[in-house]
Amino acid sequence: MNEVIKGISGKIQGTLSVPGDKSISHRAVLLGSIAEGRTEIEGFLMGEDCLSTVACVRKLGIEVETLAPGQLHVFGKGLFGWQEPREILDAGNSGTTMRLMLGLLAGHPFHAVMKGDASLSSRPMARVVDPLRAMGARIDGRNEGKNAPLSIRGGNLHPITYSSPVSSAQVKSAVLLAGLFTEGETTVIEPAKSRDHTETMLASFGAQVKTTGCISTVKGLPRLKGEKIMVPGDISSAAFFLVAAAITPGSELMLKNIGVNPSRTGIIDVLKRMGAQITCQNERIEAGEPVADIQVKHSHLQGITVEGDDIPRLIDEIPVLAVAAAHATGTTVIKDAGELRVKETDRIISVVSQMAALGMDIEPREDGMVIRGGRTLKGTAVNSFHDHRIAMALAVAGISAAGVTTIENAESVKISFPGFFEMLKSF
Ligand code: S3P
């Protein structure tokens, strides 16, 4: 499906809410499915990725009831309550579904097969398969288990201390979740801290979890109890509107009820360092997660260097950060972001090629990109390559471009932000 975006003539003003956090929604269903009793979820993201997770746990014999859009009840059967699935578990486009499910399946003494779409089938799985094999799970798959489809027979695990070569919450979560099924302590050490929603939610379900800097430890065989979870708005979705308002003259926007976990707020910190006027108001804690209302005003931005420990804190926001950088004075350098190459698309190639087509002065680097701000963008036909965050970043670039931008394969926004184009067009 194509989506046509016109350059904006006015300002972006008002108040809006974005759909629920994708990472927290996945974890709420997964942990609910291995807890005892009912888990009640409000604000669940009804995006395709999270619906893949729901479909997978249903195939494992767990009842999930949808009371209304965003309101789900999961009827968990305890740690060892999953049943051997009769069908293949399909993670669709979702790396979080596949990698976290593999961690949980590793704890179960039965056979299961996981598959994904063309994009997910080409993404690296050895990063979770290797540590799960080291814990005792038997996993096989395409390219010796480096890619999906993967088959797994779990059970009889032993705890490990795993030093992950990458900062990845999906790797950390897979290992910690497998660690629930074996006696003793399982530890993951990361090069830089990734998002910590698994650790926070596990603790709220009753597990013993310790986190010190980049080291996280879980104690095995906990009794997990069904919980009430309020999923906050997804900061990764809010980021498109933060940038749209920051670059559109006269704009002033309030984003309500957004998750502001420090392991996710790199985009706010970096935009502020670029000169954006952003304030977090009404800060509070809901279900263990920090939440706030975020106000953003149009601002004159300056190019900066983004690197190191900030990268895992804004990895999904880099496509739209490139749009902010194009509207900044001077040069923005994004480095240490080689992980972009193994997302839903190679996001260094997809961002650079499509933003350049709109007239951006942007060059790829092995581990990031360089953007020189100040060029006027001009609408043209661009492609999201079926990557939801590329489609939305191109739309934000499109509203700041002269003329008309046509985004091909724009339906991919349903992965994480159903209704994105309607919301954008309402401005
Ligand atoms: C996610 C972790 C990140 C992120 C993805 C969601 C999660 O991936 O890019 O969109 O929910 O754990 P990595 O763990 O591969 O960095």
> Which amino acid, 271?
L
Give per-residue pLDDT as tens, 126-175. 999 999 999 999 999 999 999 999 999 999 999 999 999 999 999 999 99
- CB 96 less than 6 A from any atom of ligand 1: yes
Domains in the chain: boundaries: 3-20+234-426, 22-230
Q: How confident is the model at residue 287 (pLDDT cuts 50, 70, 90)?
A: confident
Give per-residue pLDDT as tens, 187-210. 999 999 999 999 999 999 999 999
Q: How confident is the model at residue 8 (pLDDT cuts 50, 70, 90)?
A: confident
Give per-residue pLDDT as tens, 315-331. 999 999 999 999 999 99
CA 248 to chain centre: 26
Whether 380 shows a pLDDT value over 90: the answer reads yes
- CB 169 less than 6 A from any atom of ligand 1: yes
CA of 371 to the centre of ligand 1 (A): 24
Task: Kindly list the catalytic residues.
Answer: 316
Residue 166: both structure tokens together: 């990458």
Atom of ligand 1 at shortest distance to CA of 168? Answer: 14
Q: Domain 3-20+234-426 maps to which CATH number in 3.65.10.10, 3.10.580.10, 3.40.50.12500, 3.40.50.720?
A: 3.65.10.10
Whether 242 shows a pLDDT value over 90: the answer reads yes
- CB 416 less than 6 A from any atom of ligand 1: no
Mean pLDDT value of segment 102-106: 99
Domain range 22-230, CATH class? alpha beta
Residue 260: both structure tokens together: 């502001």
Mean pLDDT value of segment 333-356: 98
pLDDT > 90: percent of the chain: 98
CA of 377 to the centre of ligand 1 (A): 30
How far apart (Å, rounded) are the C-alpha atoms in residues 72 and 70? Answer: 6
Same fold, 3-20+234-426 and 22-230: yes
Residues in contact with 269: Cβ distance below 8 Å, sequence separation at least 6, in sequence order: 310, 313
Whether 37 shows a pLDDT value over 90: the answer reads yes
Kindly report whether the global pTM for this prediction surpasses the value 0.95: yes
- CB 94 less than 6 A from any atom of ligand 1: no
pLDDT at site 386: 98
How far CA 197 is from CA of 11, 28, 393, in Å, comes to 35, 10, 25
Compute the chain's Rg from CA coordinates: 21
**Closest to 261 (Cα-Cα) out of 27, 19, 18, 23:** 23
pLDDT at site 10: 86
How far CA 399 is from CA of 240, 328, 385, in Å, comes to 11, 16, 20
pLDDT at site 372: 98
